[in-house]
Amino acid sequence: MHWWYYAGAAIVIIAWVGIVARARRSKADALHDADVNRRIDERLDGVDIRRRKNDSGLAKMVEIPPEVAQQFVAEMQAYHSERDTLRRDEITFRTRELLLQHLPTGANLRLSDVEQIFERLKSQA
């Protein structure tokens, strides 16, 4: 037989051993994670978690003027109709700047956050 036959068989065997080892590792990791979660639950059994005064537990709503909301929807529609990634990034940046004007000072809004908002609202536009 040719040398390439043996080389191919060796590659297949090495790949198979790697797949089996990865599967065994993932099972062991899952068992370890379950054990860690159980220990964390045991530690938290006697912990008293209280809310601060006047804390409803809900995120505060941000008021955006209707004109800005209409501009946001127009930008979102332009984002979904655009196929060029550079132009999509420009639209995302403009929208981020628009939203940051109406968010509290020090708020953090990344471009990826705006893209996620666009994707989640895609079906509602």
Q: What pLDDT digit, counting tens, does each position of 21-63 carry?
A: 665 655 555 556 666 667 666 666 665 555 555 555 445 667 8
What is the token pair recorded at 11?
A: 């590659």
79: three-class secondary structure by DSSP: helix
Instruction: Please state the three-class secondary structure of 20-40 as a single string.
Output: HHHHHHHHHHHHHHHHHHHHH
Global model pTM greater than 0.85: no
Which residues make Cβ contacts (< 8 Å) with residue 118, sequence separation at least 6?
A: 76, 79, 80, 92, 95
Model confidence band, residue 121 (pLDDT cutoffs 50, 70, 90):
confident
CA-to-CA dists, residue 65 to 42, 70, 71, angstroms: 48, 9, 10
